Amino acid sequence: MGVLAFPLFLPLLWRLIVVNASFPTTLEGPFKPVTVPFDNQSYHGNAIDLPDTDPQIQRTVQGFEPEQVSVSLSSDYDSVWISWITGDSQIGDDITPLDPESVYSVVQYGIEGSQMSNEEVGYSLVYNQLYPFEGLQNYTSGIIHHVRLTGLCNL
């Protein structure tokens, strides 16, 4: 009796929570935003930056060779995003971001065993984290490339 009563009790409890609770949904329209003030004292100076010599941030390629290559599903069944990074990231007080307009984001592709006859051009960007107070080091990424391949098919 006790073993059967527990599974039967869960749907009843769930129904009570969902039906009687007042969780807002998007069907009820926009809500008044809640703003919480930033507590600068709690966060200021408590972060620890990795040193430039840490193996976790050492590059394994030279110059503008691609690294951190990623293939991700896209919103359509016949397309994927190819992403990668080129160039050096920088950490420190005096950093100069790389110019994403100085390079092209191009992927050449084709069917395995044949010529790479397709080419897609994408876009690139640089991520910067600049701190407005002393104690934390600034960061700028290498150039982040994104190219979407479309019209892919199963062979």
pLDDT tens, the chain, 155 aa long: 444 444 555 554 455 455 545 555 666 666 676 777 766 666 566 667 778 788 887 888 888 899 999 999 988 889 999 999 999 888 888 888 999 999 999 999 988 888 888 999 999 999 998 888 777 888 999 999 999 999 988 76
Residue 28 lies in a domain: yes
Say if 38 falls within a structural domain. Answer: yes
**Residue 33 pLDDT:** 66
pLDDT score, position 44: 60
What b-and-e string marks burial along 44-70, b requiring 16 or more CB atoms within 10 Å of the CB? eeeeeeeeeeeeeeeeeeeeeeeeeee
**Burial class (CB within 10 angstroms; exposed 0-12, middle 13-18, buried 19+) of 18:** exposed
Asked if residue 154 is part of any domain, the answer here is: no
- pLDDT of 155: 67
Number of domains in the chain: 1
Question: 122, 137, 114: which is closest to 57 by C-alpha?
Answer: 137
Q: Is the pTM of this model over 0.75?
A: no
Q: Is residue 23 part of a domain?
A: yes
* Residue 155 belongs to some domain of the structure: no
127 part of a folded domain:
yes
**Structural domain for 122, as ranges:** 2-149
Q: What is the predicted pLDDT for the residue at 40?
A: 64
CA distance 68 to 57: 12
Two tokens, residue 34: 């809640």
